[in-house]
A and B are shown apart, each in its own frame.
Chain A
Amino acid sequence: MSELLETGMAPAGDFAPARSLWRRIEPAVLGAGSIVVLLLLWELLPQLVTLQAGTKMLFTTPSKIAVTLWNMIVTGKLWAPLSVSGTGFVVGLLLSVLVGLPLGVVLGRSRTLNAMFDPFVTAFNATPRLVFLPLLMLWFGLGVTAKVVIVFIGALFPILINTYEGVRNADRGLINVVRSFGGSEWDVARLVVVPNALPYIVAGLRLAIGRAILGVVVAEFFGAEDGLGVIMVQAASRYQVDVVFAGLIVFAVLSLIMTGLVKLLENRLGGWRPQRTGGE
């Protein structure tokens, strides 16, 4: 939106500079303003309306959350559970890339294999991964393995489906050129198919990150003995609302940072983005 406004405004000399400056900063001001207003309202709510004693116990303000979060960072209480959650996240995501990428390339290149895998991909992609959690807990216990598997299943399909779409979208002419010069299927994949699919794969990675974080959170809520999600559930049962919100903020910030980094990578790889993305 903002770059659209700027390109519209820059060459036009009719507009007063003050107005064009306002137009340029308007999105930032309005966007940040709404967040600030919401936070202020939340902060001042206890002063504006008197809360009942019961509600007061379950109520927290942004300043209290910030103090709690700061304390968790300073005392180091955050890092141990966060590293447990992070391990599950990283291992699951890595596995999903290691499996999803080659499988996506193979399914994109072979119509027969794709037809055979399609029912499974459709079924597992449509089903919320959470249904498998009780089963995975039965199989793997409360350790990191069940978490890794949940993250893996969640993140696999955006990567697999996007890789597949990118491979299918490869230029037939280029593939034929590689073939005519005696290139093998490996050469086709290396020289044409994968480079062409790269923007799709990165877009899939962005979706996968969101799903992987969701997977970590739900796995830790229901089937883990360690991790940031576990801390949050325990805090909720002790009515430490500020700790729950602090945990949420940590997860949200991590998610925003990682998707932001991948978005930068996406912009580097080309100004265009695939229309079709996997599931979510």
Chain B
Amino acid sequence: MEIVPTPAQEADSGEAPRRSFAARHRDKLLGILAVVLFFAAWQAIFLVVPFNKLFISKPDLIVLGLIDLIKSGALLRDLAVSAIPFICGMALATVVGVALGIVMGWRRRVGLALDPLMTVFYASPLVALSPLIVVYFGVGFGAKILIIFFLSVFPFIFNAYAGVRAVDPLLINVVRSMGGREIDLYLKVLMPSVLPYIVAGARIAIGRALIGVLVGEFFAASEGIGYAIARFGDLYALDKMFACILVIMVIAVAMTEGIRWAERTAFPWRAQ
């Protein structure tokens, strides 16, 4: 944490009883301290406990493994291979899910008809269909995209549906009585109201899409980050396996926290 307080922050804290840098960033510093302590303890425990590299790894070995993976370009290649179906599947889920959700919310009867059906789909562990998808579509791109799509489409459907139903009817009436056209309704009332719901849905969908990537690659793949983890496990290369796991954790946190940040910045009125 090399954050130096900016003049504006200085001025801010000048009004309140002056607090030290440590006091102001107490929670963040404590968090960083805990993470550092965790890795230090992980490294240090093997001074006491015998180290078996076929069973566990150490932070220094993990870092070396990570550097090795980055230098050889294997990590980047695997990430790129996994990213393409992830992006395609998520894009498909966004388009289909948002469209379906908006129609379900806008047309009352469509909503009534599809709500139970979608609930049944959402509640059933659709991952269970992935062996079938692999049988139908073979080992590859199509199967991966479908698995990701099926897992991540439902948060979009339900959130868009909820977003439309949360639209203030008064606003619709205002647009109508002022002579607004249908397109005005969609652009000026519907979209601003639904968008926060869709972004919140995207946050949930990302986690599920990541599961889809891993399921697809554990089942049937010859490259990709999920395949890399499984293969390093088979090879007992635990340092590289841990390195890949940490990379996925960092990516997952970056994406969900990134969306959270976008939610706070773009729709501050919805911040909890």
Chain A interface (Cβ within 8 Å of chain B)? 1, 26-27, 30-35, 38, 58, 111-112, 114-120, 122-124, 126-128, 130-135, 137-139, 210, 213-214, 217-218, 221-222, 229, 232-233, 236-237, 239, 241, 244, 247-249, 251-252, 255-256, 259, 275-276, 279-280
The interface residues of chain A lying within 8 Å CB-to-CB of B132 are: 236, 241, 244
CB distance from A45 to the nearest CB of B (A): 15
Q: Are A221 and B207 in contact (CB under 8 A)?
A: no
Given contacts A115-B26, A131-B229, A252-B123, contact A126 B253 (CB under 8 A): yes
Q: Are A236 and B135 in contact (CB under 8 A)?
A: yes
Size category of the binding interface on chain B: 35 or more
The interface residues of chain B lying within 8 Å CB-to-CB of A116 are: 30-31, 33-34
State the CA gap A241–B132 with chains docked (Å). 7
The chain A residue with its CB closest to the CB of B32 is A119
CB distance from B142 to the nearest CB of A (A): 15
- In B131-162, which residues have CB < 8 Å from any A CB? 131-132, 134-136
Given contacts A126-B253, A130-B211, contact A38 B117 (CB under 8 A): yes
CB distance from B67 to the nearest CB of A (A): 20
Given contacts A119-B35, A134-B241, A138-B233, contact A128 B135 (CB under 8 A): no
Q: Are A1 and B112 in contact (CB under 8 A)?
A: yes
Checking A214, A218, A244, A256 against B120 with a beta-carbon cut-off of 8 angstroms, the contacting residue is: A256
Tell me if B166 is interfacial: C-beta within 8 Å of chain A.
no
Q: Are A217 and B127 in contact (CB under 8 A)?
A: yes
Q: Are B124 and A252 in contact (CB under 8 A)?
A: yes
Tell me if B245 is interfacial: C-beta within 8 Å of chain A.
yes
Checking A1, A119, A239, A248 against B135 with a beta-carbon cut-off of 8 angstroms, the contacting residue is: A239
Checking A114, A131, A236 against B245 with a beta-carbon cut-off of 8 angstroms, the contacting residue is: A131
Q: Are B253 and A134 in contact (CB under 8 A)?
A: no
Q: Which of B2-10, B91-99, B170-178, B213-221 faces chain A?
A: B213-221
The interface residues of chain A lying within 8 Å CB-to-CB of B249 are: 123-124, 126-127, 131
State the CA gap A279–B112 with chains docked (Å). 27
Tell me if B210 is interfacial: C-beta within 8 Å of chain A.
yes
Other than the given A31-B113, A58-B136, 7 more pairs (CB < 8 A) read A112-B30, A117-B34, A137-B233, A138-B236, A237-B135, A256-B120, A279-B207
Q: Are A229 and B241 in contact (CB under 8 A)?
A: no
Checking B112, B117, B241, B245 against A35 with a beta-carbon cut-off of 8 angstroms, the contacting residue is: B117
The interface residues of chain B lying within 8 Å CB-to-CB of A239 are: 135
CB distance from B244 to the nearest CB of A (A): 8
Tell me if B252 is interfacial: C-beta within 8 Å of chain A.
yes
* A-B residue pairs in contact (CB < 8 Å), sample of 19: A34-B113, A34-B117, A116-B31, A120-B34, A126-B255, A127-B253, A128-B207, A135-B245, A137-B233, A138-B233, A217-B128, A218-B127, A221-B215, A222-B219, A244-B128, A248-B125, A252-B120, A252-B124, A280-B207
Q: Are B109 and A232 in contact (CB under 8 A)?
A: no
The interface residues of chain A lying within 8 Å CB-to-CB of B193 are: none
CB distance from A61 to the nearest CB of B (A): 15
State the CA gap A280–B158 with chains docked (Å). 12
The interface residues of chain B lying within 8 Å CB-to-CB of A123 are: 249, 252-253
Q: Are A134 and B124 in contact (CB under 8 A)?
A: no
The chain A residue with its CB closest to the CB of B34 is A116
The interface residues of chain B lying within 8 Å CB-to-CB of A251 are: 124-125, 128
CB distance from B38 to the nearest CB of A (A): 7
Tell me if B84 is interfacial: C-beta within 8 Å of chain A.
no
Q: Are B114 and A210 in contact (CB under 8 A)?
A: no
State the CA gap A252–B245 with chains docked (Å). 30
Given contacts A236-B134, A259-B123, contact A120 B30 (CB under 8 A): no
The interface residues of chain A lying within 8 Å CB-to-CB of B63 are: none
- In B225-250, which residues have CB < 8 Å from any A CB? 226, 229-230, 232-234, 236, 238, 241-242, 244-245, 248-249
CB distance from B234 to the nearest CB of A (A): 8
The interface residues of chain B lying within 8 Å CB-to-CB of A218 are: 127, 211, 215
State the CA gap A36–B253 with chains docked (Å). 41
The interface residues of chain A lying within 8 Å CB-to-CB of B20 are: none
State the CA gap A43–B169 with chains docked (Å). 41
State the CA gap A118–B229 with chains docked (Å). 26
Tell me if B15 is interfacial: C-beta within 8 Å of chain A.
no
State the CA gap A126–B242 with chains docked (Å). 17
The interface residues of chain A lying within 8 Å CB-to-CB of B257 are: 122, 126
CB distance from B216 to the nearest CB of A (A): 11
State the CA gap A237–B118 with chains docked (Å). 28
State the CA gap A249–B125 with chains docked (Å). 9
State the CA gap A116–B34 with chains docked (Å). 5
Q: Are A30 and B109 in contact (CB under 8 A)?
A: yes
Q: Are A131 and B125 in contact (CB under 8 A)?
A: no
Q: Are A247 and B233 in contact (CB under 8 A)?
A: no
Tell me if B55 is interfacial: C-beta within 8 Å of chain A.
yes
State the CA gap A151–B208 with chains docked (Å). 16
The interface residues of chain A lying within 8 Å CB-to-CB of B114 are: 34
The interface residues of chain A lying within 8 Å CB-to-CB of B214 are: 128, 130-131
